[in-house]
Structure 1
Amino acid sequence: MDKDVILLGGFHEVIELCEKAGYNIVGIIDGRLRDSYFGYSVIGSDADAEVLFSNYGKCKLVLTPDSPKIREKLVNLYKPLGYDFATVISPQATISKFSTVGKGTIIQDGVNISACTTIGNYVKLNTNCNVMHDNVISDYVTIAPNAINLGRITVGRSSYIGANATILPEVKIGHHSTVGAGAVVTKDVDDNKIVKGVPAK
């Protein structure tokens, strides 16, 4: 029963991740899909969340969307109804024994989390991203494929670090901010900002 999950959103990458990590996918909740997706039953949409709880409330939910804003919206919808959330970690990820990972977080293949790093709740760490020592990754953050966070970085709530971006040591990224793909961030980024380029501006 502890391994029974329902996916919030049909996404084949996360289906494969759950299979690798030994989870039993009971169904998918997605308003855009019908019947089945990659062999798994589509059991309803977000509008059915309250009704579905009576049959599926013991299953943990897996947050598949990449968007921090959408993940936060889903948690705010499902959590008050009594649902719990699964943390899904690829067996091909490397996580320091001195670091912690929060509830409802997705960690894909090839991710590295170095020592003394804190990963918050409902975070998504995409394939091959590298989070080095003494980072603080706040709730709902997304780090895209191949991004690199060097040492002693703080990333604020619901921010997005784009693919192949590099954040230099001791930089602070504010809440609800976006770092563009391939950017090199050399100084702090305020809340609600979008930065891109080399160096990022």
Structure 2
Amino acid sequence: MTTPLIVIGAGGFGREALDVVVAINRATVEPFFELVGVVDSNLSESNRGRLDARGVRYLGTEDEWFNSRRSAQFVVGVGDPSVRSRIVERWTSAGYDAATLVHPSVGIGEQSTIGQGSIICAGAQISTNVSIAEHVHLNPNSTVGHDSIIEDFASINPGAIISGDVRVGLCSLVGAGAVVLQGLEVGPFATVGAAACVVRDVPSRVTVKGVPAR
């Protein structure tokens, strides 16, 4: 049975989420998801054109979707963790269930779990005994090492490397190409800048950058 699905957000990551949906459907005998379209409350003209170019229906704002009283599962393709958290709270409070998207090319080790609403993009690698919580984004070619924990709403950006036994906290973001060394913790709502190398714990709500990250 095909599951109706909407993607919330028509920006870059939202359209990458569309790519994951397409790849999942191509990898199955019959499509797993029925892509209903995209909801975006702040759609730019350029992103509207990008949706039109790929033949994806724009469904209107969040309020317009709620007023339609239609049903579907949802995923939030918004890169900012805190914004994503607020959107998810609204949709789950309205009674909608989140889907989980995992690109067929993703490598997943034994004893690893992926929470509801998470989006795992092409080329991501999840090692053994990894816990990916809910509504996490693993961007293309990111890596999460053994025994690590990625908490709710965290974003691991393209090419970032999370070494083994690392905890990445609630609503935190690890930038593109950054490295977090083994056994460390990135606190809740923290940001690791692109290409940084984290060599010590990152406190909550702190931004670090550079090599080593400060």
TM-score (ref. length: structure 2): 0.88
Partner residue in 1 for 2:5: 5
Structure 1: where are the runs of 5+ without partners?
none
Q: 1:105: Cα distance to partner? A: 0.2
Partner residue in 2 for 1:29: 39
Q: 1:24: Cα distance to partner? A: 2.0
Q: As a proportion of its length, which structure holds more strand?
A: 1
Give the alignment of 1:108-147 within 5 angstroms.
Answer: 108-147=121-160
Q: 1:73: Cα distance to partner? A: 1.1
Q: Are the counterparts in 2 of residues 5 and 61 from structure 1 also a CA contact under 8 Å?
A: yes
> Equivalents in 1 of 2:2, 2:78: separation in Å?
22
> Equivalents in 2 of 1:49, 1:188: separation in Å?
42
What is the SS of the residue equivalent to 2:35?
strand
Q: 1:98: Cα distance to partner? A: 1.1
What is the SS of the residue equivalent to 2:82?
helix
> Equivalents in 1 of 2:15, 2:88: separation in Å?
21
Query: Would you say 1:72 and 2:75 are equivalent positions?
Result: no
Alignment length, in residue pairs? Answer: 198
1:132-158 CA deviation, whole Å, 9 max, x = no partner?
100000000000011001110001100
Q: Are the counterparts in 1 of residues 7 and 39 from structure 2 also a CA contact under 8 Å?
A: yes
Q: Are the counterparts in 1 of residues 15 and 77 from structure 2 also a CA contact under 8 Å?
A: no
1:47-103 CA deviation, whole Å, 9 max, x = no partner?
224313x22x2x110211111011101111111110111100000100113100000
Runs of at least 4 residues off by over 3 Å: 33-37
Partner residue in 2 for 1:50: 66
Q: 1:191: Cα distance to partner? A: 0.4
Q: Match for 2:100: what amino acid?
A: T
What is the RMSD computed on CA atoms of the aligned residues? 1.5
Q: Match for 1:24: what amino acid?
A: E
TM-score (ref. length: structure 1): 0.94
1:116-140 CA deviation, whole Å, 9 max, x = no partner?
1100000000000010100000000
Q: Match for 2:111: what amino acid?
A: F
Structure 2: where are the runs of 5+ without partners?
26-32
Give the alignment of 1:85-96 within 5 angstroms.
Answer: 85-96=98-109
> Equivalents in 2 of 1:28, 1:164: separation in Å?
29
> Equivalents in 1 of 2:204, 2:2: separation in Å?
38
1:181 corresponds, among 191, 194, 199, to 194
More divergent stretch after superposition (29-38 vs 106-115): 29-38
> Equivalents in 2 of 1:49, 1:158: separation in Å?
26
What is the SS of the residue equivalent to 2:79?
coil
Partner residue in 1 for 2:169: 156
Classify 1:80/1:49 alpha carbon distance in 2 versus 1 (closer, same or farther; 3 Å): farther
Q: 1:17: Cα distance to partner? A: 1.3
